[in-house]
Structure 1
Amino acid sequence: MKKGYKVADVKREKKIGVAAENLQELIEKSCKKLGFNVRCAECRLYVAEDGTLVCDDDYLGTLPPQTLFVLLKGDERMVTDFDHYYSLIRSTKKEYIDTGLAAKEFLTTNIKEKFKVFQKYIAAADDARTMLSERAQDPTWFEGLEPSEKNKEISMCRRVKDRMRGYFYKTKSALQASDLYAHSKNNHGKKLIDQFLTDLKRLLESSKYNVDYFNRKADKKLRLCSERGAFECGGLWNSITCTYNGEHVINPYRSREERIIFQTWNLDHKIELSRSIIPKILGAIEGLYNGHIICLLCENHSSQGELETDRYYLQIFTRENLKLVHIVCHYKGRHDVESGAYTLCQKCSTQGIKHN
C-alpha cells in the first residue's frame, strides 16, 4: 500500500510530494521529480528532522505519512533540520534573528565558551508559554511539525521514538552487513541474526520505545525532565554529574527555538553502540553458530544455547546505559568500557533464569 511523503533537496530549495510503496520507488520517483541528473543508486534518503539514514523498507514502514525526507546525491552532505531552521529564522523571522545568531555561535565558537552563549539565549526565552501544551495554545512552537502532533508531550514522545528507532536500525544494518549474515552455511547465521533482531524489536515495542523519557507528564521515575520540562545534562560518559555546575540546562517545552536546539543534545551510550555493543552481539551470535559458547550464568562451555537479548536491549535502549548530555559533554572518543558476549546455555535458558 502506497503512502504519501515529502522530499526535499539538501538546500530545501525544492520540496515535492511522492506516493511510494517502498524505499526504491520513493528514491526513484524523488530523484526524477527533483530533477537529479544522476543514477538512483547514487542517491541516499535521510529523515529531515534528525538526519537518520533510511536504509531499508522496514524502517520506512515505521515512519508516518507526510514525513519529510532529504534526498542527497553524490558527495552531498546531510544538513539537519537545526541548520535549516537556523537559516529560515534568520531570513524570515526578524524577531528571532538574535536567537538564530546565538544558536549559530553556539555551534561554531570555541567549545569551552559554547555553554555561556547558550545560557545567554536561554535567559532571554519567554517562560510564560512553557506550561502551554496544546497546538492551539502555542502554535509557534509546532511550526515544522506534523499535524498529528497535537500537543507538546506527544511531540516530545515522538522525538524519543525516532531516536530509539534509529538505534534499532543502526544495529540491524550492521548485523545484516556482516559476512555471517550473507555467507553462512544453510543460512544458519542469517536465521540467528534475524531471530535476535525479532526478539530485540519485540522488547522495544513492548516498552513503547521508552517514549516517556522526554514526556514531562510521565511518572517521575520514567522521565528525564522536571514537571515543567527542563532537562539537565548528565555530564561526560564516565562522570556521575555534569561539571558545569547546573549551567547545562534546557527546556524544549518553552519555545520552538529551544526545541530545535534540543536536537543537538545526545542520548549518549556509555558502552558504545558501534564500537562495542554491536561487535559483541555479532561475536555472541558467531559463538552460537559455531557451537562454542560460555554460559553467562553457570560459566560452562556449551554447544547450544541462546543470546540473552534482554541484556543487549538494556544497553541499547535504556537509561541503564544511556545518559542525556549537552553537546559540550558529548565525548566522541573511545569509551573505556566494553559490552560482553551474553549467552546462556540450553539448560539455564530452559529454566528461565535471567541475569540481573
Structure 2
Amino acid sequence: MFGLFGKHKPVKIRGFRGGKKYGVAAKDVKELLKKGCKLFQVPLSGARVCLYEDGTTVTEDFFKTLPDNSQLVLLSGEQTWDGVVSDIGQLLNTDRHADGLIEAAKELLCDETSSKRRKILTDLLLNLEDTSELESRAEDEDWFKGVDARFKTKSAYMKFNCESRIRGYVKEVDAAAKTIQGAKVRTAFRKASERMVEMLKAARYNGRYFDRTDKGPDRLCTPEGWFTCQGSFDEEVCRSLHSINPYGSRESRIVFSTWNLDHRVEKKRAIVPALLEALHDRRSADVDLSYFYRLLFTRENLKLVHIVCHKKGAHNLSCDTEKVFGKADKTKRKPGVKKRRLV
C-alpha cells in the first residue's frame, strides 16, 4: 500500500482558505500535522486534519485506513469544515471569482448530461449573472426588455407588479356580486367592496410589498431585492428554502411572475362567502370591513410562495367569526344567542 513511501502514507493536503493542494507523506497523524503546520505556517497547537469531502476528523486509527492520496484539510483554532459546502461558501462570499465561475459553469453546462447537475449549474448561472445593484433603466437596459417605457427604475416596476396582483383580487371580489341572489344583499356587498377599495387606494394597493426601496416593515424583500418563499399555507417556513432576486436579471424577473401571493384563508371558498353571510339582514356599516380587507388584501392573510409551494386544494381554514361583526350588530343579538358559523 505504501509503495515507494515505505511506511509513510501519501495524502493531498490543503489549508482552510485557498484551494492549492500539496502532496505530503507521513507515517501518522502527528507527523502529518507537523509537516502540514510548517507548510501552511499555522500553529501546531490546536491543529487537526479532516476529510475534504465531508469534514470527518482524521484520527490515528482512521489515518491507517485512508486510501493513498486522500484529500485532507488542515484546520486550526475555531475553524470548522463542512465538506464541499464550505468550499462553495468561501467561493461565493467574494466577487473575485465571479467571472471565472460564470465561464466555467457555461462550459460545464454545454457537455453536462445529468439533470441534477444541469439544474445546479443553471441556478448558479442565474444567480451569478446578477445586476441587482443597478436600479435605473439607463443602467440596466436588458432587465427592462418587455417592460413599459413609463417605468424608469426597477423598484417602480416591482411596486406596480405587486399593485397589479392586488387589483386582480379586487376584480375577483367584484365578480362575486354578479352571483348574489337578492338586490338588497347585492347592494350591501357592492358598498362593502367600494369601501375596501377606498382603503386600498389609501394604502396605494400595498405595492410596497415588492418595493426594495420602501423603508417600512411590510416589505417582503431585502434592500438588495431578495425574496424568500414563506412556505405553503399550512407551514411556518418553506422547507425547500426557495429564494429569488427579481431585481438581479431579466430572467429572474420573469420567473418571479410565477410566484404567488397566496391567501391562507381562501378568497372564494371562505372570505367572500363569510362576507355575504355577514351582510344578510345587515348594513355594510354593521360589519367589520377592515377585518375582511386585511384578509383579502394584506400580509395578515397573504403569503409569498414559490409555485411549487402553492397548494391548490382546499385550505380548510375559516374566518374568525368574533371579528366579523361591528358594534351595531352586537346590540341586536339576544343574550345567550351564539353567532352563526360563517364558513
TM bracket (short chain): 0.5 to 0.7
1:324 aligns with 2:307: no
Looking at structure 1, the residues matched to 118 and 213 of structure 2 have their Cα atoms a distance apart, in angstroms, of: 29
**Which has the larger Rg?**
2
Percent of residue pairs bearing the same amino acid type: 33
1:214 aligns with 2:210: yes
1:343 aligns with 2:325: yes
Looking at structure 2, the residues matched to 325 and 117 of structure 1 have their Cα atoms a distance apart, in angstroms, of: 24
Under a length normalisation based on structure 1, what TM-score does the superposition of the two structures give? Answer: 0.56
Q: Conserved in 1, the CA contact under 8 Å of 2:155 and 2:211?
A: yes
Deviations 1:9-67 (A, max 9, x none): xxxxxxxxxxxxxxxxxxxxxxxxxxxxxxxxxxxxxxxxxxxxxxxxxxxxxxxxxxx
* Cα pair distance change 1:141/1:219, threshold 3 Å: same
**For 1:312, what is the secondary structure of its paired residue?**
helix
Deviations 1:227-260 (A, max 9, x none): 110111101111111111x3x1110001111101
Q: Conserved in 2, the CA contact under 8 Å of 1:306 and 1:345?
A: yes
* Cα pair distance change 1:206/1:118, threshold 3 Å: farther
Q: CA offset at residue 346 of structure 1?
A: 2.0
Correspondence 1:280-291 to 2 at 5 A: 280-288=274-282
Q: Which residue matches 1:178?
A: 180
Looking at structure 2, the residues matched to 332 and 117 of structure 1 have their Cα atoms a distance apart, in angstroms, of: 29
Query: 1:346 is aligned with what amino acid?
Result: A
**For 1:212, what is the secondary structure of its paired residue?**
helix
Q: Which residue matches 2:253?
A: 259
Q: 1:197 aligns with which of 168, 193, 197?
A: 193
Any unmatched runs of 5+ in structure 1?
Answer: 1-97, 102-108, 290-303, 350-356
Looking at structure 2, the residues matched to 117 and 207 of structure 1 have their Cα atoms a distance apart, in angstroms, of: 43
Q: Which residue matches 2:160?
A: 158
Q: Which residue matches 2:101?
A: none
Looking at structure 2, the residues matched to 198 and 163 of structure 1 have their Cα atoms a distance apart, in angstroms, of: 18
Correspondence 1:120-131 to 2 at 5 A: 120-125=121-126, 126-131=128-133
Q: Which residue matches 1:144?
A: 146
Looking at structure 2, the residues matched to 333 and 305 of structure 1 have their Cα atoms a distance apart, in angstroms, of: 33
How many pairs align? 216
1:226 aligns with 2:222: yes
Which consecutive aligned stretches of 4+ in structure 1 deviate over 4 angstroms post-superposition? 116-120
**For 1:179, what is the secondary structure of its paired residue?**
coil
Query: 1:122 is aligned with what amino acid?
Result: D
**For 2:262, what is the secondary structure of its paired residue?**
strand
Structure with greater contact order relative to length (CA < 8 Å, sep ≥ 6): 1
**For 1:264, what is the secondary structure of its paired residue?**
coil
Query: 1:321 is aligned with what amino acid?
Result: N
Q: Which residue matches 1:270?
A: 264
Q: Conserved in 1, the CA contact under 8 Å of 2:209 and 2:218?
A: yes
**For 2:282, what is the secondary structure of its paired residue?**
helix
Query: 1:284 is aligned with what amino acid?
Result: A
* Cα pair distance change 1:339/1:151, threshold 3 Å: same
* Cα pair distance change 1:168/1:118, threshold 3 Å: farther
Q: CA offset at residue 193 of structure 1?
A: 1.6
Root-mean-square deviation (CA, aligned residues, Å) is 2.5
Q: CA offset at residue 118 of structure 1?
A: 6.3
Looking at structure 2, the residues matched to 128 and 312 of structure 1 have their Cα atoms a distance apart, in angstroms, of: 39
Any unmatched runs of 5+ in structure 2?
Answer: 1-105, 110-114, 332-343
* Cα pair distance change 1:323/1:282, threshold 3 Å: same
Query: 1:169 is aligned with what amino acid?
Result: K
Correspondence 1:100-139 to 2 at 5 A: 120-125=121-126, 126-139=128-141
Looking at structure 2, the residues matched to 312 and 343 of structure 1 have their Cα atoms a distance apart, in angstroms, of: 10
Q: Which residue matches 2:25?
A: none
Q: CA offset at residue 135 of structure 1?
A: 0.5
Q: Which residue matches 1:238?
A: 234
* Cα pair distance change 1:227/1:306, threshold 3 Å: same
Q: Conserved in 1, the CA contact under 8 Å of 2:286 and 2:329?
A: no
